[in-house]
């Protein structure tokens, strides 16, 4: 709607405020939607929604792997100490 309204308005911001008045959300909300659309469709530089979701998944996986690694290190140290315990 914004891109269609932009043809009739003097600027994109005027189109955004016009659409916001029609739909009900704030102009800032509509502006963010427009920016996200532009990024997702290659009209503007930035991280796409798909890339952002992929990064979230990878960051979660990375945190889980670090946690598992710390647990394995602690277990390894525990069992190494048990094996190297006092010999009498």
CA distance 57 to 37: 22
CA distance 18 to 3: 11
Contact 60, 70 (CB under 8 A): no
The domain segmentation of the chain, as residue ranges, is 1-46, 48-88
Taking the complete model, does pTM exceed 0.75, yes or no?
no
Q: Is the pLDDT assigned to residue 85 strictly greater than 80? A: no
Q: Kindly indicate whether the domain formed by 1-46 is annotated with CATH number 3.40.50.300.
A: no
Tell me the per-residue pLDDT of 16-25, one tens digit each, with 9 for 90 and over: 999 999 999 9
Instruction: Indicate the burial class of 28 (C-beta count within 10 angstroms; 0-12, 13-18, 19 or more).
Output: exposed
User: For 85, phi and psi rounded to 5 degrees?
Assistant: -60, 175
């Amino acid at each position: 709607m914004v891109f269609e309204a932009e043809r009739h308005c003097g600027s994109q911001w005027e189109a955004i405020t016009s659409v916001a008045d029609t739909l009900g959300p704030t102009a800032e909300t509509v502006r963010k939607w427009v920016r996200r659309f532009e990024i997702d469709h290659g009209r503007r530089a930035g991280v796409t929604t798909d890339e952002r979701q992929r990064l979230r998944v990878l960051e979660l996986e990375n945190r889980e792997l670090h946690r598992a690694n710390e647990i394995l290190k602690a277990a390894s140290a525990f069992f190494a100490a048990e094996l190297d315990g006092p010999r009498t």
